[in-house]
């Protein structure tokens, strides 16, 4: 099977990061929040969009009666 170098790099970085926080998801979350605070200029925020319900329509397909 072909190994994608981008996937391999991503997995390597994930493993390094998890080792850094001792495989603790709470510590990982705290670490990521700290990074967000340090680099707020890099974050993107979009205005919420209103969800409009349409009767009889699911995922752009009309339901049959």
Structural domain count of the chain: 1
Torsion of the alpha carbons at 15, 17, 19 and 25, rounded to the nearest 10: -100
Chunked into runs of 10 residues, the chain (65 residues) has average pLDDT values of 92 96 96 93 87 66 53
Domain of residue 16 covers: 5-62
Q: Report pLDDT for 50.
A: 83
Q: What is the pTM of this model?
A: 0.56
DSSP codes of every residue in 17-47: HHHHTTT-HHHHHHHHHHHHHHTGGG-----
Residue pair 4/12 in contact (Cβ under 8 Å)? The answer is no
């Amino acid at each position: 099977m072909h190994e994608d170098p981008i996937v391999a790099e991503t997995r390597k970085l994930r493993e390094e990061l998890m080792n850094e926080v001792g495989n603790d998801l709470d510590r990982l979350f705290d670490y990521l929040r700290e990074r967000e605070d340090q680099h707020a200029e890099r974050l993107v925020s979009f205005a919420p969009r209103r969800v409009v319900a349409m009767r009889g329509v699911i995922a752009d397909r009309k339901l049959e009666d």
